[in-house]
Each structure stands twice: as structure tokens, then as C-alpha cells.
Amino acid sequence: MNSKIMNFINNNAVVWKMPIAAALSWELAKWVGSTHPYLAPLTVILSMQMTVSKSMKFAWQRVLGTIAGVLFTVTIAPYLGLSGWSIGLLLFMGAVVVQRLKLDHEIMVQVALSILLVMYFQSKMPSYPFDRLRDTVIGAVVAVLIQTLVFPPDSINTAKTKMVHFADHFIKHLVNTAQWIERGCSSSEAQRMSSQLQTLFQELHQATTELDKANQSLNYNPLAQKKRHALNQLNRQMEQLRSGFANLSDMLRVFTAWSESGNFVIEDRRIWTDHLNKIALLVTEWKKTLEAPAPSLNPNAVALQIDAPSHLQHYQYPLAIYMNAGQILQDFKMPVLANKNL
């Protein structure tokens, strides 16, 4: 029961963490004497990003941009007065400095916001510049601490789900390739399978993106040693999926070229239909390592050994190199212009 409650709280952290952090930052700002405490929760709201690393990055950018903008404005603004032209001039000067220092665009935005608001409010409320500095720091610190230490965002389960989803479709594509070979490798089906391969690549990209989020989140979580071990396992499994996809892509290209050559005879098709179906069984068994709480793969579950026939042993490597070199030439071939004078 307690586990279910904790999972519910964790899964809905995005709902309750921001209000708690905003309320806490407001009270802290009031406690230290701020007359503009809303600036602290404003920073919290802006800094609570989807991952810990993004939250830390934005909080740092906001603090740095705010400090630079406030100091820049309180130093120069008294000599310019308040007008549209003075605001424009200070914004221009701030943007030039940020660009020269090659800082992030987000820092330029924070500098610009601070310049604009400090120029407007400091004549009416002299405490505003200092409050902005202090309360921004308070909000950034609270946001980072809450995001890092209290149920930090965890994309591991989402990444695992996407990887399982991709593995299922990868297995299906292996089986479809075997069936395509068995039916004679028609060119119309080859185009459809190539299109399906592009969809499979998009799924692989989505899984990789989610795994990257998980990696970024755990980089700043000192209490996640157990999850870090699970994440390392997922990273290794993702490398296997990437390698499997790359090899299947190459194989589909070779099978298509082999069929178009007219030399892909029935016996060869039968052999490779059998090989691909066995590979699909092997990947199906491997997929259990993604789904099981304590991954373990029985190496004898699928007995598979694919070796080149003895009379081709000496040619397999040079032929593979020639195929890859030919593909590079094809990929980088210059388009032929219809009119050379263009």
C-alpha cells in the first residue's frame, strides 16, 4: 500500500512540486525582508523544467542574466533617464555585451528583462533592483533543490517502455524481411519495407531522446545509485538496439541489390529466410532483459550460429568493404545538372 502511495506521489510530482516550491520561495523572500516577494516564485515557475539538468541550466541562466542586467542598469540608467529611447539604448548595449561574451540566448533574454523592469520600477520603488537580485537567487535555489532532492524527474521507465516498443517493431521487421525474401523479394515490397524502416528509425530516435533525459536527470541526483546502475544497463541495451537497427538496414539494402542482380537463387533465399527468423527469435529472447525486473538471458534459449560457407570465407570481408565503399560513393554522388550553364 505504501509503495502504491509513493508511486502515485512520484508520478504526479509535476502537479505538486511547483506550487510547494513557489509557496516556499515566497515565504523565504518575505522572511528576508523583500517588498517584491513575487519575484522568487516567478523564478521557481520558470526554472522548474522537465529534467534536473534543464532546471539547473535555466536557473543559472536566470540568476546570471538578472545580476548582469540589474548591475548594468543601476550603473548607467541614472545618467539617461526613463524614455523609450533610453530603454532601447540600454537593451542594445546589453545585447552587444552578451553577444561579445558569447553567452547563451537565454541569458540575453534575462538581461533584457532585468534592464526593462529595473529602469521602470527603480524610480518608483528604490528597493526593486536589490529585491530582484535577492529574490531571483532565492527562487532559483529553491527550484533546484526541490527538483533535485524531492522526487526528481525520472525518465527511466518511459525510456524502457519506448525501448521495448522499438524492440517489438524491430522483431516484426525482421520477420517481415524473412517473409519478403521467401516470397521472392519484390521491388514494390522493398519500397514499402524501406518506408517502414524509416518509421522504425524515428521510434529509435524517440527512445534515445528519452534515455538521454534519464541520463541528464540522474547526473545531478546524489541519491540515485541504484537507478544509476539500472540506467547503465539500459544504455548498454540501447547500444545493442542501435547496432541491430544499423545492421538490419544494411542487410535490407544488400538483399535488395542481390535480388536485382538476378543471382539471389531459391536456395539462398531459403537459407536467409531461416536465418532471419532465428535472429528474430534471438531478439525476442533478448527483449526479456528489458522487461524483467532482474534481467537474465539464457544463452541456450536460441541456438544460432551464422557462418559464411567455406568457399566464401576468404571473400566475405573484401565483399563487405566493397559494398560499404560503394554505398558511400552512392550517398555522396554529385547530382547531374540538366543545364551545365546554370
183-227 pLDDT, tens digit per residue, is 988 888 888 888 889 999 999 999 998 888 877 776 666 556 667
The three-class DSSP label of residue 297 is coil
234-267 pLDDT, tens digit per residue, is 899 999 999 999 989 988 888 888 888 888 889 9
Phi/psi of residue 296, nearest 5 degrees = -155, 135
Of the candidates 47, 55, 59, the one whose C-alpha atom is nearest the C-alpha of residue 22 is: 47
Which ranges of the chain would DSSP assign to H, the alpha helix?
2-11, 13-31, 39-47, 52-76, 84-100, 105-121, 128-149, 156-182, 187-218, 225-261, 266-286, 288-291, 316-331
Give me 85's grid cell. Answer: 529611447
pLDDT above 70 for 297:
no
Cβ-in-10-Å burial (0-12, 13-18, 19+) of 310 comes to exposed
The stretch 226-234 carries a mean pLDDT of 80
pLDDT of residue 304: 64
Under the banding of pLDDT at 50, 70 and 90, the label for residue 11 is low
Distance CA 244, CA 250 (A): 10
